[in-house]
Amino acid sequence: MPVAASLDDPYYYLTNFTFVLGWVVERHGDLLGEEERRFLAAFDELPRASRALLVRMVMRRGEHFRTSRLDYPEIGESELALAPLETAGLVDGAPTMTLDELFAQLRLPELRLALAEEVRAAGMPASLGKAALFEALAPRRLEARSQAEWWPAAPDRVVRLTVMATCDRLRLMFFGNLRQDWAEFVLAELGVQRFERVSFSVESRAFQRREEVDAYLALHRLRERLDADEPVAALAGALPPVPADNAWLAARRQRLGVALGRQAERAGQAELALTLYGEAGWPVDAGSPEARIRHLRLLERQGRHADAHELTEALATASPGEAEAQALARLRPRLRRRLGQAALPRDVAPTPERIELCLPGPQPVEWAVCEHLHRDEAPVAYVENTLLTGLFGLLCWEALFAPLPGAFFHPFHSGPVDLYREDFVARRRELFDGCLALLDDGRHRQAILATWREKQGLANPFVHWGALDEALLELALECLSPTHLRACCERLLGDPKANRAGLPDLIQFRPEAPRGEPRYRLIEVKGPGDRLQDNQRRWLAFFHEQGIPAAVCQVRWAAQEA
């Protein structure tokens, strides 16, 4: 793991930041603009204390900082370290601040001193709390001004980091997202997070063109505005185009379009919502299934049954995925009834084995059932979404972490970047086939246990280490049919995002079962009033189709019947 610094070094954060800058220059130099190059040149010329203070500010929230709170022992006097930053234009030593920015920097007693004249002019009591004070002053639309103008007698000053946007762009080029931040280095150094070592090819980088970085940042800013409750109509008009050949940016734009559509729907703007869903959902081979289903449901609620029916029938013939097909199976009969058309043949859903229990409670329902069904000769374990996915992740580790172009582009990936893209499996089909072939002759058991021991604690999107101890793995590998395990692995590969959830809560092992009888049983637990979710129904139907033993346990509380 090429983490650049040790936490024993008081300047570890500066070393890590410099490591990121060097990585970006080496791998993304052709994507850097004049602004980023000026920053890099200015940063290199700074004294170490000034570089360290700038990084400390970059790693904190916001752009405004009080000098009295820039207190770091290894840096020393903050004013001395700030001077070169101000000279280089990286920090504004006297920025103007809006009222809400002022409130973010000052404590209530300080606000009462700074705003005493405004409070008196408004005839407000001096005892108002901070929130009430802001609420009372906000309608006055006070103009932005420097802290010296807000509060001439302030004991310190507020400065503003002017290069946060530039540093965010550089961080984006390193991580490929803005979700990860500088703390990744610290967590890795502490051992809280550990990552698989993957080699990086020339093509292994998040972005190939500068306009892709621009598009990502534009989408990110738009999402922030949506989260800040700006009017959805204005946001919808600002949806930026993305490069036509960048599938993952297109998918990101679709997800934002769906989020905007949902907000428009909640705001009663049905036509805008339909437009947003339509843009995100079609064409079928490149659009979002979620957007299509939301589009159809909204058309139905609007009474536009003919329009919804036409799209639904076309979609039903386009080989939809499981989740989309499940939603269509509910929509199509309703629409046909409303249009007076003949009913479709009904698909009879398989009925899984049913267990009904009346237990003392209420209590955590899964654990109650686990304890009730547990026998020494037939132990029960709570494994929801961890055992089958974990076995898959351990068996297919080599395929998941294959260093393909565009799959990994920095040292802090918990899994391949393209995990949820359409071509994820196709690009690795031979590798996955090789891993799954171990199930055909019994070699899978040794391979899974060896990977469990060798990779212990390394991040993997399918492996939850805290839920997989060696005893559970040994028992599962002894009892689970390799044929069944292969079928489940193939289903996970069919839709990794949707199918990694919805798996049963419990597994009961029967290692001493007579020959020919199942040696395990999967159990989905439902408490009073709880119903099966769609993804759980899909898994149960799959289990029935594959002959995998599974049951649904419905629990009633004895205390409620007394």
Let me know whether 330 and 390 are in one domain.
no
Let me know whether 276 and 421 are in one domain.
no
Let me know whether 363 and 414 are in one domain.
yes
Task: Tell me the per-residue pLDDT of 181-233, one tens digit each, with 9 for 90 and over.
Answer: 888 887 776 666 899 998 877 677 888 899 999 999 999 999 999 999 999 99
Q: Could you tell me the pLDDT band of residue 256, with boundaries at 50, 70 and 90?
A: very high
Specify the pLDDT at position 559: 72
In order, the DSSP letters of 88-127 are TTSEESS-EE-HHHHHHHS-HHHHHHHTHHHHHHTT--TT
- Classify residue 539 by burial, with Cβ atoms within 10 Å: 0-12, 13-18, 19+: buried
Specify the pLDDT at position 2: 45
- Whether 1 shows a pLDDT value over 50: the answer reads no
Specify the pLDDT at position 521: 97
Specify the pLDDT at position 290: 94
- Whether 5 shows a pLDDT value over 80: the answer reads no
d(CA 185, CA 7): 10
Does residue 63 form part of some domain? yes
Does residue 174 form part of some domain? no
Percent of all residues in the chain with a pLDDT value above 70, rounded to a whole number:
97
The chain-wide mean pLDDT, for the chain, equals 92
- Whichever domain contains 236, its CATH number is 1.25.40.10
Does residue 31 form part of some domain? yes
- Whether 70 shows a pLDDT value over 70: the answer reads yes
Instruction: Tell me how far apart the terminal alpha carbons of the chain are, to the nearest angstrom.
Output: 60
Does residue 190 form part of some domain? no
SS (H, E, C) 403-436: CCCCCCCCCCCCCCCCCCCCCHHHHCHHHHHHHH
Let me know whether 269 and 389 are in one domain.
no
Task: Tell me the per-residue pLDDT of 147-159, one tens digit each, with 9 for 90 and over.
Answer: 999 999 999 999 9
Does residue 212 form part of some domain? yes
Let me know whether 408 and 305 are in one domain.
no
d(CA 396, CA 185): 27
Neighbouring residues of 227: CB distance < 8 A, sequence distance ≥ 6: none
Q: Which domain holds residue 367?
A: 353-561
Does residue 135 form part of some domain? yes
Domain termination residue (choose one: 289, 305, 338): 338
- Whether 382 shows a pLDDT value over 90: the answer reads yes
Considering only CA atoms, which of 306, 310, 261 is closest in space to residue 281?
Answer: 261
HSE (side-chain half, CA atoms, 13 Å) at 217: 15
Task: Tell me the per-residue pLDDT of 258-302, one tens digit each, with 9 for 90 and over.
Answer: 999 999 999 999 999 999 999 999 988 889 999 999 999 999 999
Let me know whether 91 and 239 are in one domain.
no
Is the Cβ–Cβ distance between 531 and 494 less than 8 Å? no
Does residue 344 form part of some domain? no
Let me know whether 306 and 250 are in one domain.
yes
Neighbouring residues of 365: CB distance < 8 A, sequence distance ≥ 6: 525, 526, 527, 530, 555
Let me know whether 316 and 224 are in one domain.
yes
Let me know whether 388 and 494 are in one domain.
yes
Q: Could you tell me the pLDDT band of residue 48, with boundaries at 50, 70 and 90?
A: very high
Domain termination residue (choose one: 281, 304, 338): 338
Show the CA angle centred on residue 51, arms to residues 49 and 53, nearest 5°: 70
Let me know whether 477 and 502 are in one domain.
yes
- How far apart, in Å, are the Cα atoms of 417 and each of 194, 204, 248, 276? 17, 10, 9, 26
Token match 């009017």: residue? 231
Does residue 3 form part of some domain? no
Let me know whether 271 and 361 are in one domain.
no
- How far apart, in Å, are the Cα atoms of 203 and each of 26, 93, 244? 13, 42, 19
Let me know whether 143 and 238 are in one domain.
no
Q: How many domains does the chain have?
A: 3
Could you tell me how many residues make up the chain? 562
Specify the pLDDT at position 386: 97
